[in-house]
């Protein structure tokens, strides 16, 4: 295994780190306390500078304007921009657009890609991914209730979705719906492109998450599809191929998420250490950093973050060398390991900051609210542990 970073990628990462400190982190005050329109203007200005630097959408295909990074380089990039909640958006690699770009590139027709993929990579439009339902278990997608019924040259879609992230302001959704109800369970659903201005696409609300409704990209929509009619030409891939496409989307997507989480963990850790070294806690001038318990926190987190980082880079290397299917054990493991490492880093940093940590005077409380879902979306921890544990035990069954 060779994780050595190329000279070209080293230069890119240095440029990204400097840009994040100079242009992106200062926008967080507007994110936490300011006006959404003012924030949007600041983000747009930063995006224009990223494009001038030649670093826009680096993980996307070269033929559609990206840099075509390897999975390892993609992970290193995600870690660098993940230090801020705005980083992915400023560099044009935000979810769910990044995952939708991956599957459009692999499964989209030339007509679909001209209409949707090119403007999506260019940042001219946004998209959403509509899979999760309020009344069916997300841990078992064969239970999907939303249907897409063939009517002549059209699909008619009916059903209720929620946590359709970024639906507010999106130009189109990729919807997972049952098209073949009598087929074997994993061949029943398909992926279909639905423009959000289609009659019957109803954005009911942005779901409030821990007291914050959000708007635009930073939102999670509840959507009702009510006799929503789209051409059958909007099908992605083959009919009944939705589960295969979903797995193709989720494997590389977990590298994207996990390295972003490591960016969060690293910054939270830095904030904790800075606070510990600066906070005077006694008349003799001693600091938090002089206390053994803080030293233990620092040692444990440093070790856990470094270990989690190596796990993700190994999974990324496995995908590059052998494909996502071969790397499924590594992909399952990083999902729950890194989510918990990141959340521990944020929680520990809050504890070290005391009352300041739970305010919005730092970015920590924002992460505490918005990243708790890391242990749920893209498969709950328990699902990944069960799946991985079953495969591990099976390999040892004949010993």
Tens place of pLDDT per residue across the chain (399 aa): 677 889 999 999 999 999 999 999 999 999 999 888 899 999 999 999 999 999 999 888 888 778 888 889 989 999 999 999 999 999 999 999 999 998 999 999 999 999 999 999 999 999 999 999 999 987 788 899 999 999 999 999 999 999 999 999 999 999 999 999 999 999 999 999 999 999 999 999 999 999 889 889 899 999 999 999 999 999 999 999 999 998 877 767 788 899 999 999 999 999 999 999 999 999 999 999 999 999 999 999 999 999 999 999 999 999 999 988 899 999 999 999 999 999 999 999 999 999 999 999 999 999 999 999 999 988 899 999 999 999 999 999 876
141 contacts: CB under 8 Å, gap ≥ 6:
131, 176, 189, 243, 246
Neighbours of 393 (CB within 10 A): 9
Token pair of 255, please? 């590298």
296 contacts: CB under 8 Å, gap ≥ 6:
none
pTM, full prediction: 0.93
Q: Which residues of 124-158 are buried (b: 16+ CB within 10 A; e: fewer)?
A: ebbbbbbbbbeebebeebeebebbbeeeeebbbbb
Task: Find out whether 159 and 225 touch, Cβ atoms under 8 Å.
Answer: yes
Which pairing describes strands 127-130 and 172-178: parallel, antiparallel, or unpaired? Answer: parallel
Give strand ranges (E) for 166-243. Answer: 172-178, 189-195, 201-206, 214-215, 218-231, 235-236
Write down the CATH superfamily of domain 244-395.
Butyryl-CoA Dehydrogenase, subunit A, domain 3 (1.20.140.10)
CA–CA distance, 179 with 160 (Å, rounded to integer): 15
Tens of pLDDT, residue by residue over 146-181, are: 999 999 999 999 999 999 999 999 999 999 999 999
pLDDT of 250 reads 72
135 contacts: CB under 8 Å, gap ≥ 6:
145, 160
Q: Which residues of 69-88 are buried (b: 16+ CB within 10 A; e: fewer)?
A: bbbbbbbbbbbbbbbbbbbb
101 contacts: CB under 8 Å, gap ≥ 6:
60, 64, 117, 120, 121
pLDDT of 4 reads 82
DSSP bridge partners of 154: 151, 231
DSSP bridge partners of 209: 212
378: DSSP letter: T
DSSP bridge partners of 222: 205
Tens of pLDDT, residue by residue over 204-217, are: 999 999 988 988 98
pLDDT of 314 reads 95
From residue 358, alpha-carbon distances to 70, 83, 275, 291, 382 in Å are 38, 19, 14, 22, 28
Three-state secondary-structure class, residue 55 = coil
pLDDT of 67 reads 84
Token pair of 139, please? 């841990």
Pick from 356, 336, 194, 385: nearest CA to 274: 356
User: Where does residue 207 fall: left (phi above 0), alpha (psi -120 to 50 degrees), or beta otherwise?
Assistant: beta
Determine the CATH number of domain 127-236. Answer: 2.40.110.10
Task: Find out whether 258 and 95 touch, Cβ atoms under 8 Å.
Answer: no
CATH level 3 topology of 7-121: Butyryl-Coa Dehydrogenase, subunit A; domain 1 (1.10.540)
pLDDT of 399 reads 65
Cis peptide before 96 (omega within 30 of 0): yes
Token pair of 239, please? 């009919």
C-alpha 146: how far from chain center: 24
Domain boundaries, the chain: 7-121, 127-236, 244-395
pLDDT of 251 reads 66
């Amino acid at each position: 295994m060779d994780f050595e970073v190329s000279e070209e990628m080293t230069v890119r990462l240095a440029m990204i780190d400097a840009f994040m400190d100079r242009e992106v982190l200062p926008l967080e005050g507007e994110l936490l306390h300011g006006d959404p329109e003012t924030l949007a203007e600041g983000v747009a200005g930063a995006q224009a500078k990223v494009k001038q630097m030649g670093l826009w959408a680096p993980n996307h295909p070269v033929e559609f304007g990206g840099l075509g990074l390897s999975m390892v380089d993609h992970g290193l990039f995600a870690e660098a921009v993940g230090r801020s909640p705005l980083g992915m958006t400023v560099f044009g690699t935000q979810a769910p657009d990044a995952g939708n770009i991956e599957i459009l590139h692999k499964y989209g027709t030339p007509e679909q890609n001209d209409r949707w993929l090119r403007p999506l990579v260019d940042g001219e439009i946004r998209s959403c991914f509509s899979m999760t339902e309020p009344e069916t278990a997300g841990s078992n997608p064969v239970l999907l209730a939303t249907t897409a019924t063939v009517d002549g040259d059209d699909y008619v879609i009916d059903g209720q979705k929620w946590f359709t992230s970024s639906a507010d302001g999106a130009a189109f959704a990729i919807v997972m719906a049952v098209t073949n109800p009598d087929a074997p369970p994993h061949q029943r659903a398909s992926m279909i492109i639905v423009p959000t201005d289609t009659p019957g696409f109803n954005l009911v609300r942005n779901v409030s998450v821990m007291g914050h409704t959000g708007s635009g990209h930073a939102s999670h929509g509840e959507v009702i599809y009510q006799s929503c009619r789209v051409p059958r030409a909007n099908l992605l891939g083959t009919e009944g191929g939705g589960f295969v496409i979903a797995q193709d989307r989720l494997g590389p997507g977990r590298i994207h998420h996990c390295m972003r989480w490591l960016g969060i963990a690293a910054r939270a850790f830095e904030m904790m250490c800075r606070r510990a070294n600066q906070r005077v806690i006694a008349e003799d001038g001693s600091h938090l950093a002089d206390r053994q318990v803080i030293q233990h926190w620092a040692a444990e987190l440093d070790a856990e973050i470094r270990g989690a980082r190596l796990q993700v880079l190994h999974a990324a290397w496995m995908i590059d060398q052998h494909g996502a299917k071969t790397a499924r054990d590594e992909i399952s493991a990083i999902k729950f390991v890194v989510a918990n490492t990141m959340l521990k880093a944020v929680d520990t940093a809050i504890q070290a900051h005391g009352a300041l940590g739970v305010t919005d005077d730092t970015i920590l409380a924002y992460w505490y609210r918005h990243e708790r879902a890391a242990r749920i979306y893209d498969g709950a921890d328990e699902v990944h542990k069960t799946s991985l544990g079953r495969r591990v035990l099976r390999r040892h069954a004949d010993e």
